[in-house]
Structures are given as C-alpha cells and as structure tokens.
Amino acid sequence: MASISFIYPNYLFFLLIIPLFIFIHLATLKSSKNTALRFANFEAISRIRGVDFFSRNIFILVLSGFIVVLLVMAMSGLTLNTVIDASSYSFVIALDSSKSMGATDLLPNRMEVAKKAASEFIDSLPITTKVGVISFSGNALIEHGMTDSKSLAKAAISNVEISEISGTDLVEAVITSTNLLNAEDTRAIVLLSDGQINVGNIDQAIKYANENNVVIHTIAVGTLEGGATSYGLSKLDEDSLKGLSYNTAGSYFRATDEKELLKSFNEAIKITKRKVSIDLSRYLVMASVLFFSLEYWLISSRYRRLV
C-alpha cells in the first residue's frame, strides 16, 4: 500500500502563505472593480476592469497557488513510499577498455557491442536500482559513481573509449568497483572483458571481493577464434573470468554476439519485491517550472490585458 511522507515537514509552514496571498489578491481585485464602476461607460468597464478581467484573474490566481503548492511540496521533500519490483542488487558495470576490445570478431568491434548491450541492460533495470560505471585497462577509471538515474549511467557508458594505456588490470577494476559499492546493501559487479589479463593477481581480486561481500558476474566478450586489432589477432581468454565469477558466487557468461551479450546481462538481474521511498522533489520542481511557463505565456499573450 502506498503512502506519502516528508523529509523536511517544517517547510509545510509556507503553505500558510497561500490563504494570505488569496486574501490580498481578492481585496485588490475588489478595490480595482470599485474604481472601475465610477465610469459611466460600461463598455470601458468591460474592456478595462470588467467581469472578464475578474474571471481571468481568478484563473491566474488558482494557477499561481498551485505553483506555490508544488514548490512547497518540493522543499518539504515529498516522498512516495510503496512496494515495487526492484533489483536484489546494486551494480557496477566494469567495462574493459584495453586495446584488445577493438577486435572485430564482434561487429563493429567488441567495445561498441559491449557498450550497446550495457546501455540496454541499464534500461531494463527496475526503477531505483543504483548503477555505477568504471572502465579499466592498465588502470581503472570511475566513469560515474552510484546513481539511480538511467540517463546518467547510459551517458557514462557511451563516453567510454578504448584506452591508450597498455595492459588489463583486473585487480584494480575489482577494487575500484567494490569501493564504489561500499554504501550499498547488496553488491554486484558485472565485468565485461575479453579476458586478456596481464596485470595483477586474480587471487587478490577474488579475496578483496569476498571480504567485501561482492558478487562478480563476468561476461566474456569475443570469440575463441579471435578478431583483428591494431596490433594483431586477439583471442578470447576465459580462464581468469571463470575463476573470478565462480569464486565470488557469481556467474560466468560467454557472449559471441550482441544478442547473447544482452541475454547474459539480463540473467544477472534478480527481481524481488521491495519497499522503496521515491523522492518526488525533482519532479515537483519540473512541474512547477512548466506551470510557471504556462502562466507567463498566458499573461504575456492571451491574458496580456491583465497588466
């Protein structure tokens, strides 16, 4: 059952401004109307201070009051508490950006196929699921911290490029991803790589993940036959990826095409029912801006005689 609550209920005090605002507005209207009645020309009254003017003012008054209510609710941190489908985990997507990901055994190359599948995976996640994004080659870079904004996470994925730094440091990727997940209750890493690991000790990565209760799902991107790169043929190396997933209670997937890659992502999601609190403040602010724009348009064009 849904319910609402407020993060900052003290700000609801500002709702008392609305009755005062209405009183002042109506008093001003009455005064203006009395002034208009002094004219003998009632056509002028209708044109300058007439009944149509009064009704339009009431509409603008209601609209203004509604905008104030939206803003006060936003300031008060209006929150919707409900039960929805949610992911059992918060995720970090760790994307291999080493030069071997430029191999063309997946078209147009491993990197582009992996990025597309990762973006579609983010789209498929339930609302409120938190996602972080890192890329790794000879070192690891945080592309975006944990967020429940799908657009921000997808933008971070799209910005990943093949690195000029040589090597593939799986240990650094796991440590960086795990640190991003420290504040989350249930933690999972989805690591995409062709398995060409040449920096660090895989046992160190497994130990660090297990000490921090992190599940690692690994997705091998590429084919056993390999693909052409700028430096020669790059073949898939599964052993390190299998060891990493199996020893952290995760799953290993091998994706030889875009369809299989997306399927691998989706199998990493575990859906459950969860009580969640959705902060509506940002949506209320957006709505107030839209209604304010409508009010400005009405006053400056259709209702321009009000001023």
pLDDT string in tens for the chain (307-residue length)? 567 888 898 999 888 888 887 777 677 766 665 555 554 454 554 554 444 444 566 777 788 889 889 999 999 999 988 755 556 789 999 999 999 899 988 889 999 999 998 998 899 888 778 999 999 998 999 999 999 999 999 999 999 999 888 778 888 999 999 999 999 988 899 999 987 666 668 899 999 999 998 989 999 888 888 777 777 787 777 888 999 999 998 889 887 777 887 788 777 776 444 556 788 998 999 999 999 888 888 777 765 554 4
Question: Which SS3 state, helix, strand or coil, does residue 13 take?
Answer: helix
CA nearest neighbour of 92 among 171, 26, 165, 174: 174
Residues 105 and 138 in one domain: yes
Residue 71 half-sphere exposure toward CB, CA atoms < 13 A:
15
Residues 25 and 159 in one domain: no
Residues recorded for the chain: 307
Domain range spanning residue 141? 89-269
Residues 128 and 254 in one domain: yes
Residues 109 and 154 in one domain: yes
Residues 155 and 195 in one domain: yes
Q: Which amino acid is at 41?
A: N
Residues 115 and 31 in one domain: no
Residues 161 and 241 in one domain: yes
Q: Which residues fall within 8 angstroms of residue 293, CB to CB, at 6 or more apart?
A: none
Residues 270 and 267: their CA atoms lie apart, in Å, by 8
Residues 103 and 130 in one domain: yes
Identify whether the C-beta of residue 135 lies closer than 8 Å to the C-beta of residue 162: no
Q: Which residues fall within 8 angstroms of residue 214, CB to CB, at 6 or more apart?
A: 174, 177, 178, 181, 187, 188, 189, 248
Residues 125 and 243 in one domain: yes
Residues 159 and 197 in one domain: yes
Residues 70 and 94 in one domain: no
Identify whether the C-beta of residue 169 lies closer than 8 Å to the C-beta of residue 202: no
Domain total of the chain: 2
Residues 159 and 106 in one domain: yes
CA 198 to chain centre: 34
pTM over 0.75: no
Identify whether the C-beta of residue 221 lies closer than 8 Å to the C-beta of residue 193: yes
